[in-house]
Structure 1
Amino acid sequence: MKLKYWLMLAFLIVMLLPVVAGLSLFSLYSYYNDQRSLTEYVKLSGEMAPIEQALSDPDLYRLQPSDAYTELSALAGDQVSFELYLPTGIKVYSSGGGAWSAGLYTVSGPELYRDLYDLQIRHRTFSLKKPVWQKGELIGIYEIVMLRGEWLEGISLRTSWVIGSAAAFFILLYGTVISLLSRKLFRPMKQLMQRMDDFAKGKPAEVEVPVRHDEMGRLIGQFDNMQKKITRTQVQVEREQQEKELMVVSLSHDLKTPLMSISAYAEALSSDSRLDAAEREEYRKVLSGKVEQMKQMIGELEMYTALGSGGLELELLEVEGEEFFDMLLGSYVGLPEQKQIAVKSVVRTDHMYKVHPEQLTRLTDNLIGNAVRYTRAGGVMGLAVIASDQELPEWIHLLWGPELNDYRAGGTLILVQNEGPAIPAGQLERIFEPYVQLQNHGDQSYAGSYGLGLSIAKRIAVRHGGDLRMWSLEGYGTLAACRLPET
């Protein structure tokens, strides 16, 4: 249940429960009072009978001296009193004595005749009022009042019981509300504060929070998601920082060699007068080549940085797949032939694609350049573009087929396969990290000439909404697969 609805219901229950408890207690008290009154009435009826018989004497209902009521005085006591009235309302006798006994007190007619024959049960007394008849004529009325002694004796006990019950009820209600609030609100807030404190101190969360479906549960879940996102961001920032540091070190190392060559050849050109014109021209060509090499290294670094920073916006153009990829793969036909490498090329797609032609060409250049570099002379290299609804080329290894089918779900694959040395399975993911120099058996780096080619290719694939993976098998070669979304 949502917390706000739970709180609204809890407040309603807290307001209604005292009312219900009060009504229940009042009903219970009334029931007990009725039952006790009935018991007392049955007991006192026997005591009233002789008094009623004595008070039914017609001779008592006339004005006369108090000595005529001497025998009645013996019937009265601490628990019983009675009064006698004439039909006109004049009180002729009161067991309590006093000024009223001489006929000086008169009761009005409505008051005198009210509640005749009805036993009146009051908090402290029972009272019964009856008329006295003689030869069909009303000659008087008597009223007997009996004190409820046993009832009055238990008042303090019942009062204590009622107060104790009310106090116990409110304590129970208060404890229940506090317990529920603690379970629904206070405890989750404390757990959330503890998790926030642990996160601020860089410690893992020590408190395991059960799954909740209310607002506090969602709040804790959102905090956990935020914490995970911040943690991932921190890990990514640290990894990127490490990459930057590695790139700086690697770039410094890679630039050192051409700079030393440039410095040596420049010094020779400027100071060695024994060099003839041909040697000087050769030195100038070497210097020019080293400068171009440095420009290429810096250009790749700039491209890698731009693709990762988001500052480079790729304007994707919609192209017809078969025509575009036929032209793209056709431009590489002559390159493998220079090393006497046989090429198997196939394009199977009729989909439309949104691509950046220049960047996708750069991606393909890097993949095919690596494949040519590591394919042995006289070997075979495979190039293919296969849509999601087309069969894979027959030259794809059977072990890779199921994984490729799962990988290309809903997308088109650009496949580049070579017959070079296998990449160890543990290094297939690291091959896309910048300047990671993983060495093969021939002491050549898999990462390319400058260590950024595959990293750039990976980022280009991701910028197109796709991905780039590699499979490698000893004795068979390596397969690079770039997945592009279809439109």
Structure 2
Amino acid sequence: MRRISVKLLFAVIISFLATNLIFILISRLVLSRYIQEEKMNVSAYNLLAFGLISMAVVVFIFVFLVLIRSHIRYLKEISEQVQKISNGDLGATIHVRGKDELAELSQNINKMSAQLRTKFNREREIEQAKNELISSVSHDLRTPLTSIVGYLDLIKKRANLDDETLDSYLYIVDSKANYLTDLIEELFDYTKLTSPDLQLQRNEVDMKRLLQQVIGEYEPILKREGIDVQTSFASESVVLIDVEKMVRVFQNLLENAKKYSEKPSVLEVNQEIDEDSLIISFRNSINISEKLEVEKLFDRFYRGDESRTDANGSGLGLAIAKQIILLHQGDIRAELQRNKLTFFIKLPLTQESLENHK
């Protein structure tokens, strides 16, 4: 890298040499003539010397400015772009020229501008997501709250209510209240998962054993719903995960299968190794809705229809599952073939596990 100080020193030397050369030439031409003619007195000589020195200074400044004019223009360009950035034109860039400190300064300003634009866009996306979340939550809270208030008002008035009707109203109020509790808890969990300050408590875990444990706990519940579970697991596969959060993913997918599977039906859970990744799949038969959009299954509050009733859950379960998988540098997606809905989870294997499978 050519340092700008070297360039400036070079410009000073060139200016000095050019000034000396011009000064010597003019001095010889002027002074030699006056000396030969012996017509110059001391005052005239001093005046002439002052004029020559002044001319030398002017020549030095002129030559120096000519040599550094490109740097001056570059500094002006940098200043203009910085002013644009300060006025809100985030992402404005400076054309990098050369390999000196000014070029390095330009690169740093460009990097800063890009980072500011990225940060600003990220904050705008967060603000938009927050507004959408507030809007969705308001809608989801308002519906059951309105129902609770209505039934409580009827109970409070006790107008022509027999015991059976009263019990029915109390059951509805209780179920709506439980739904609100679950919604608030899931919303709180989702908010924590999207926080940039979240730290995962990772440990090396054999995924086969973890899946067997979670499915074993859920299998009686699924069987009561008419859903049999079939599993196929690869040999020992070690992954680095936050166990508590990964269990939450599997529970959400199993709960999703319990709610939306055809009854009776079979839930297939498979685990296999694909190169450097572990692939886990959950496949079940579902009652297909014409309004089901697979690509939106992981969106917050998406339920496959526009009714948004509490019977379909909070609509946050799959969004939470996706966020957890992304935090583990993995991927989760869904595929629908006829009436078979499959969720695929992809997680990176540990180096030890990869070596064991070579």
Q: What's the TM-score once normalised by structure 2's chain length?
A: 0.72
1:225-304 pair list within 5 angstroms: 225-272=111-158, 274-304=160-190
Aligned counterpart, 1:323:
209
CA RMSD in angstroms, aligned pairs only = 4.3
CA pair 413-280 structure 1, distance change in 2 beyond 3 A: same
Aligned counterpart, 1:181:
68
Determine what percentage of the aligned residue pairs are the same residue: 21
Looking at structure 2, the residues matched to 196 and 271 of structure 1 have their Cα atoms a distance apart, in angstroms, of: 69
**Tell me, what secondary structure is at the counterpart of 1:309?**
coil
CA pair 280-377 structure 1, distance change in 2 beyond 3 A: closer
1:347 to 233, 240, 244: 233
Q: CA deviation at 1:308?
A: 1.8
Q: CA deviation at 1:11?
A: 0.8
Aligned counterpart, 2:80:
194
Looking at structure 1, the residues matched to 170 and 322 of structure 2 have their Cα atoms a distance apart, in angstroms, of: 37
1:6-405 pair list within 5 angstroms: 6-8=4-6, 10-12=8-10, 14-15=12-13, 18=16, 171=59, 177-184=64-71, 186-203=72-89, 209-210=95-96, 212-272=98-158, 274-310=160-196, 313-334=199-220, 337=223, 340-341=226-227, 343-377=229-263, 381-389=267-275
CA pair 374-283 structure 1, distance change in 2 beyond 3 A: closer
**Tell me, what secondary structure is at the counterpart of 2:194?**
helix
Please say if residues 380 and 418 of structure 1, whose CA atoms lie closer than 8 Å, have aligned partners that are also in contact.
Answer: yes
Please say if residues 340 and 378 of structure 1, whose CA atoms lie closer than 8 Å, have aligned partners that are also in contact.
Answer: yes
Q: What's the TM-score once normalised by structure 1's chain length?
A: 0.55
Q: Larger % of helix: which?
A: 2
Map Cα deviations across residues 168-191 of structure 1 (whole Å, 9 max, x no partner): 9x95x766643553434x333222
Letter in 2 for 1:416: F
Aligned counterpart, 1:30:
none
Map Cα deviations across residues 173-231 of structure 1 (whole Å, 9 max, x no partner): 766643553434x3332222222222233336677514654332232222222222222
Residue 336 of structure 2 corresponds to residue 450 of structure 1: no
CA pair 194-375 structure 1, distance change in 2 beyond 3 A: farther
Map Cα deviations across residues 311-363 of structure 1 (whole Å, 9 max, x no partner): 65443333233322332344444555555556442222534333333221211
Aligned counterpart, 2:282:
416
Please say if residues 93 and 113 of structure 2, whose CA atoms lie closer than 8 Å, have aligned partners that are also in contact.
Answer: no
Please say if residues 344 and 380 of structure 1, whose CA atoms lie closer than 8 Å, have aligned partners that are also in contact.
Answer: yes
CA pair 178-479 structure 1, distance change in 2 beyond 3 A: farther
Aligned counterpart, 1:44:
none
Show structure 1 runs of 5+ residues with no match.
Answer: 27-122, 125-151, 154-162, 390-409
CA pair 478-424 structure 1, distance change in 2 beyond 3 A: farther
Q: CA deviation at 1:294?
A: 0.7
Larger Rg: 1
Looking at structure 1, the residues matched to 146 and 284 of structure 2 have their Cα atoms a distance apart, in angstroms, of: 35
CA pair 206-287 structure 1, distance change in 2 beyond 3 A: closer
**Tell me, what secondary structure is at the counterpart of 1:432?**
coil
Looking at structure 1, the residues matched to 173 and 329 of structure 2 have their Cα atoms a distance apart, in angstroms, of: 40
Q: CA deviation at 1:450?
A: 1.7
Map Cα deviations across residues 424-474 of structure 1 (whole Å, 9 max, x no partner): 99972x54342356649xx889xx6222222211222233x3233324355
Please say if residues 222 and 258 of structure 2, whose CA atoms lie closer than 8 Å, have aligned partners that are also in contact.
Answer: yes
Looking at structure 2, the residues matched to 179 and 215 of structure 1 have their Cα atoms a distance apart, in angstroms, of: 20
Aligned counterpart, 1:432:
298
**Tell me, what secondary structure is at the counterpart of 1:291?**
helix
CA pair 24-248 structure 1, distance change in 2 beyond 3 A: closer
Looking at structure 2, the residues matched to 347 and 16 of structure 1 have their Cα atoms a distance apart, in angstroms, of: 79
Aligned counterpart, 1:483:
346
Q: CA deviation at 1:302?
A: 0.9
CA pair 256-24 structure 1, distance change in 2 beyond 3 A: closer
Residue 347 of structure 2 corresponds to residue 461 of structure 1: no
Looking at structure 2, the residues matched to 336 and 433 of structure 1 have their Cα atoms a distance apart, in angstroms, of: 25
CA pair 208-425 structure 1, distance change in 2 beyond 3 A: farther
Aligned residue pairs total 329
Please say if residues 319 and 354 of structure 1, whose CA atoms lie closer than 8 Å, have aligned partners that are also in contact.
Answer: yes
Looking at structure 1, the residues matched to 97 and 245 of structure 2 have their Cα atoms a distance apart, in angstroms, of: 47
**Tell me, what secondary structure is at the counterpart of 1:348?**
coil
Aligned counterpart, 2:356:
none
CA pair 256-188 structure 1, distance change in 2 beyond 3 A: same
CA pair 422-215 structure 1, distance change in 2 beyond 3 A: farther
Looking at structure 2, the residues matched to 236 and 423 of structure 1 have their Cα atoms a distance apart, in angstroms, of: 34
Show structure 2 runs of 5+ residues with no match.
Answer: 25-31, 38-50, 351-358
Q: CA deviation at 1:295?
A: 0.3
Map Cα deviations across residues 45-68 of structure 1 (whole Å, 9 max, x no partner): xxxxxxxxxxxxxxxxxxxxxxxx
CA pair 328-180 structure 1, distance change in 2 beyond 3 A: farther
Looking at structure 1, the residues matched to 333 and 212 of structure 2 have their Cα atoms a distance apart, in angstroms, of: 23
